[in-house]
Structure 1
Amino acid sequence: HTWAALIEADFRLGDRMLYLRSPMTRGDDITDLQQRLGSLGFDAGYVDGIFGSDTESAVRNFQANQGLTPDGVVGPDTVMALGRLAGRRSGEKTIAEVRETERLRSQQGLQGRRIVVGETGGVAALIDTLARRLRADGAEVLTLHQPDLSAHAKTANEWDGAVYLGVTLATEDLSVAYFQTEGFVSAGGRGLAEHASHAIVGPLNAPHPAVGMRIPILRETRMPAVWCRVGDPARVVERAPALALSLRDALARWCDRPVLRAD
């Protein structure tokens, strides 16, 4: 992933033509494009640096608004139009952030909530126990047990999950990560990360701070998502039932209060 990140960072908006293709184009130029569109009120979805269908739709809407051919291709004319409007942004937050916050605040409770919980090996019993507890509360739960996190994201997206919580064992950098990049933060992801961070301390007796990151599992999921690096491994296994209960409580609290900070 480090090499891929270096390649993506090589591009600035205007360096290349951008359009929807398969596999989807990635890069810092797309991050910049999404941020500009979103702050002007055109919903390009998450500012994730991936040129997907939401971004193409926002580009077409922007082009039509500016009297350009709405072909979804970001070429010199579209980049120039974005440049002209650089000082007219409607606010610091993108329209995707505002809509995510509004959507989350309109829903409450675990009942009927579509929750994806996953792990990459070593904590299958923890995830299965968590899933059982959530189902007992009326949630619909999909469990994922495999090492490929891109497959986690793809499956969670196809299943149309409302939230994703992933767990892996770790001996260092213990944390609960949510999606954040320059100019964008997943408000729902951050809220869940903070709830989970507080909940984990009790059973594991170790701080697991909430941190904003742009790792692939958080970029590629189309829903609020957190990635929990929990440790130490022996204590996680020993305290799995208590940890599962704490994570269930964190998800329940998140459902009732998904956005913690006043933005």
Structure 2
Amino acid sequence: MDVDGICGPQTWGQLVEAGHRLGSRLLYLQAPELRGDDVAELQRLLTTLGFPLGHIDGIHGDETAESLVDFQLNAGIVPDGVCGPVTIEFLQRVAKRFGEPGDITRLQERQRFSVPSHRLTGYKIFLAECGGLDAIIASLRRNLTDAGAETLTAHHPDWSSHARQANHFGADFCVGVEVRDGASSICHFLGDHFESPAGKQLGVAISDDLQELFPGITSTGMRLPLLRETQMPALLCRLNDVNSLVRAHQRMATIITKALRDFAQSGLD
């Protein structure tokens, strides 16, 4: 999270989520989706046992619900999609034989991008900004379209709304851009049990090439709504110099497009 000393909605939400422990409540698919450390622990156990569900984000969505039912079927438990005492006991007992899910999630993401391509043809890329950066997003869209990608752009003040749109679009990558005070950074998702390997690799590549435009820019793992709530590798480019951004947005678009094209060609390191 951003360190600002203010207990705002995001900080309060994280405090509430941290109060949930696996077994303290029944977990099942509902609207709005359940969130908490107990959901993240359930996802960690399912991933450890080889039941894929995307990244471990602490949100009990469709993929988590499907993986839970799949586990219950394989374990001979009533496949009701409800994680209660019986399911938890089975999960914890079987998972003791395995290690952490890091290698499994990396393998899943490697498999997702296993077909190399010199262009971005066939890739769907979602571009987002919260207002005032239409020209920057338009420049990035043109570059990505020229490289063969199918793009969708969105302009909305709520990052969670962007995440829902990206998921509905079925994007392969999501890139957000915002101007803010503080150090510039290219952010990827980092949670308690998961760090997006594709997001991290792309973030490092982009931040390295943006040093000439934004000196000191870093690649940073964060738990921001756009990064956490999207179902694909996502980046949030947080830049602190609007003048440099306006002057060099075409150069920045070229750098981001190159990083995505190189990733499509070579996959995960």
TM-score, with length taken from structure 2: 0.91
Correspondence for 1:87: 96
Q: Is the contact made by 1:104 and 1:188 (CA closer than 8 Å) also made in structure 2?
A: no
Residue of structure 2 aligned with 1:239, choices 248, 255, 258:
248
Using the TM superposition, name which of 158-167 and 113-122 deviates more.
113-122
Shift of the alpha carbon at 1:157?
Answer: 0.9
Within 5 A, what are the aligned runs for 1:93-104? 93=102, 95-104=104-113
Residue of structure 1 aligned with 2:27, choices 8, 18, 36:
18
Within 5 A, what are the aligned runs for 1:14-53? 14-53=23-62
- Specify whether residues 90 and 61 from structure 1 end up closer, same or farther in structure 2 by C-alpha distance, changes over 3 A only: farther
**Structure 1 alignment gaps of length 5 or more:** none
Task: Look up the SS of the partner of 2:90 in the other structure.
Answer: helix
Correspondence for 2:135: 125
Alpha-carbon distance in 2 for matches of 1:166, 1:205 = 17
RMSD, aligned α-carbons: 1.6
Residue of structure 1 aligned with 2:124, choices 99, 108, 114:
114
Task: Look up the SS of the partner of 1:198 in the other structure.
Answer: helix
Using the TM superposition, name which of 159-168 and 206-215 deviates more.
206-215
Residue of structure 2 aligned with 1:62, choices 66, 71, 77:
71
Alpha-carbon distance in 2 for matches of 1:102, 1:194 = 21
Correspondence for 2:6: none
**Structure 2 alignment gaps of length 5 or more:** 1-9
Q: Is the contact made by 2:48 and 2:95 (CA closer than 8 Å) also made in structure 1?
A: no
Deviations 1:43-95 (A, max 9, x none): 23220101111111111122222221111100111111122123212654264
Shift of the alpha carbon at 1:132?
Answer: 0.8
- Structure 1 counterpart of 2:79, which letter? P
Deviations 1:135-192 (A, max 9, x none): 1222111111221111111111111111001110123131111112122122211121
Correspondence for 1:229: 238
TM-score, with length taken from structure 1: 0.93
Alpha-carbon distance in 1 for matches of 2:268, 2:142 = 25
Q: Is the contact made by 1:200 and 1:246 (CA closer than 8 Å) also made in structure 2?
A: yes
Alpha-carbon distance in 2 for matches of 1:86, 1:99 = 18
* Number of residue pairs the alignment of both structures matches: 259
Q: Is the contact made by 1:39 and 1:94 (CA closer than 8 Å) also made in structure 2?
A: no
Residue of structure 2 aligned with 1:186, choices 178, 187, 196:
196
Alpha-carbon distance in 2 for matches of 1:95, 1:40 = 9
Alpha-carbon distance in 1 for matches of 2:23, 2:259 = 43
Using the TM superposition, name which of 20-29 and 167-176 deviates more.
167-176
Correspondence for 2:229: 220
Alpha-carbon distance in 2 for matches of 1:176, 1:194 = 8
Correspondence for 1:255: 264
- Structure 2 counterpart of 1:214, which letter? R
Alpha-carbon distance in 1 for matches of 2:217, 2:16 = 31
Alpha-carbon distance in 1 for matches of 2:219, 2:267 = 14
Residue of structure 2 aligned with 1:198, choices 200, 208, 212:
208
Residue of structure 1 aligned with 2:157, choices 136, 147, 157:
147
